[in-house]
Amino acid sequence: MTATTFGAAFAAAASAQPDSYFTVFSEVRPSRERLADIHAAGQRLGSRMIQAGIVPGDRIAVMLPNWREWLVCAVACAHAGAVILPVVTIYGAKELGFILRQSGARWLFTPNHWRGVDYAAVVAECGELPELERHVSLGATFDRMEGERAVLPAVTTAPDDLAMLVYTSGTTADPKGVKHSHRSLLAELAVQQATRGHVEHEVVLSPWPPGHVAGALSMLRFLVNAVPVVAMDQWDPAAAARLIEEHRVTSSSGTPFHLSGIIEAGDRDGRNLSSLVSYLVGAAPVPSALVERSIAQGIAGYHCYGPSEHPTVTSGTADDPLDKQLHTEGRVMAGSELRFVDDDGHDVPPGAEGEIATRGPELFVGYYDEALNAAAFLPGGWYRTGDIGRLDDDGYLLITDRKKDIIIRGGENISSKEVEELLLNLPQVAEVAVVAAKDERMGEVVHAVIVPRPGQALTLDAIRSHFAAAGIAKQKTPERLTLTEALPRNATGKILKHLLRDRVA
């Protein structure tokens, strides 16, 4: 019988394949551990949660890199019936405070110090957190909690219960809480496994931080499908190429930035990358030249499409024709559906471009802020993605534009509105518009187009200092700046950002 909840799925995988390994490449917390041992540690930590009063549905925030402790926390949440809330480790007090307050998270797990960040100080800067009862930093307390031997019976959960709450930045200034059930996430993992799990002796290299849905799914795939994973807590292309050679990695995924780094490092260092037969490229616009380079290396690099709300809507495969690998997002995944609609939600003619609406078993169950749901869904449960596209004659998806006003920097979604609001706090700024600028390394970067106040000067250094003082994640800081006398507008005064994108290009 197929498991229908995380707790049952984790237990089944640990029993069937106890010796599958999770390997962490890290300068701080390297590890290599069996699935069975990670599962047992999670059951012990989950028992401590139950003893401390955690009840089904409570949110447990996990602000950790892709270390083995993240997996332990995931198993513990399932054991206690709690909801895992992955949080991006680079978030500052503004983002973290909003997430903790809105979600009502009762516990928070973080490193003690990592990459120069004192996490106790970040939490202190968040201000009032009325629902947060415990902040557990990795160290003696965590070790004691997962080390106590007594294991209580697992709390019973149902397939449609909330299993994960993940926050994603989109078109609004504040992150949006995306709710996934056991059913939706297990369906996503099942379709991933059916599509990508055909390689014999599969080993996955994951560079994704688990605060994002892609990284969380890589971690959960180990727990549910027992697929051996080699995880990196910091990106180092030379180390990635070495790990592929050393562990005979068969598949990986990442942004164009990750794939190009692997290929360049492999060439430079003479690494044998022949085991890497497939590479799923997503989360940022993919240059055709990069896919061509990967294919020349014997790596089938293909695209996928999906937001946090519906993680994999379409995907290419290693067997797709070259032109499809180069220029499309693949075909619709089994069980998912696509529609293309106009601004009023009506279907456009076949073959015409329209906003992509999706439906399927992997679709999220709604936003934590329920006020966002009315605009997000069409009748019949269709999710409006905000992306524009069409199907070609062979059923492959082409993404042609984005309604969402976001910048995708190295896989990170950055709200232009949030950046604009922060820039308007500078006394030198009269008007501002933020757009995505193409970047060979990161895919896109933040480009600020600013109308300065009369007699005022402004530099990127001043902007960097302003953002640092505001406690904002570094990747949101503008990396390019254009000063102008006026912003282009239409007759109603709306800024014409498509003209700005053309101008900065």
pLDDT tens-digit profile of 424-474? 889 899 888 899 888 888 888 999 999 998 888 899 999 999 998 888 888
- Over the stretch 276-334, which tens digit does the pLDDT of each residue have? 988 888 655 566 667 777 778 888 778 888 989 999 999 988 888 888 887 889 999 99
Which of helix, strand or coil describes residue 61?
strand
**8 Å CB contact between 75 and 50:** no
Mapped to the 3 state alphabet, what secondary structure does 411-429 carry? CEEEEHHHHHHHHCCCCCE
Other CB atoms within a 10 A radius of the CB of residue 203 amount to 22
Rounded CA-CA distance 10/242 in Å is 30
Q: How high is the pLDDT of residue 285?
A: 57
Helices 256-269/288-296 angle, 10° precision: 40
Q: How high is the pLDDT of residue 286?
A: 63
Mean of the per-residue pLDDT values of the chain: 90
Q: Is the pLDDT of residue 491 over 70?
A: no
Rounded CA-CA distance 39/405 in Å is 41
Q: How high is the pLDDT of residue 259?
A: 87
Q: Which of 124, 113, 92 is CA-nearest to residue 477?
A: 92
**8 Å CB contact between 413 and 420:** no
Other CB atoms within a 10 A radius of the CB of residue 285 amount to 15
**8 Å CB contact between 475 and 284:** no
Q: Long-range pairs for 217-220 at CB < 8 Å and ≥24 separation?
A: 217/185, 217/188, 217/189, 217/192, 217/311, 218/66, 218/253, 219/66, 219/70, 219/71, 219/74, 220/6, 220/74, 220/185, 220/189
DSSP 16-48: H-TT-EEEEE-SSS-EEEEHHHHHHHHHHHHHH
User: What value does the mean pLDDT take over residues 207-236?
Assistant: 93
Instruction: Give the β-pairing of 314-315 and 397-402.
Output: unpaired
Q: Which of 403, 474, 408 is CA-nearest to residue 116?
A: 474
Rounded CA-CA distance 317/146 in Å is 40
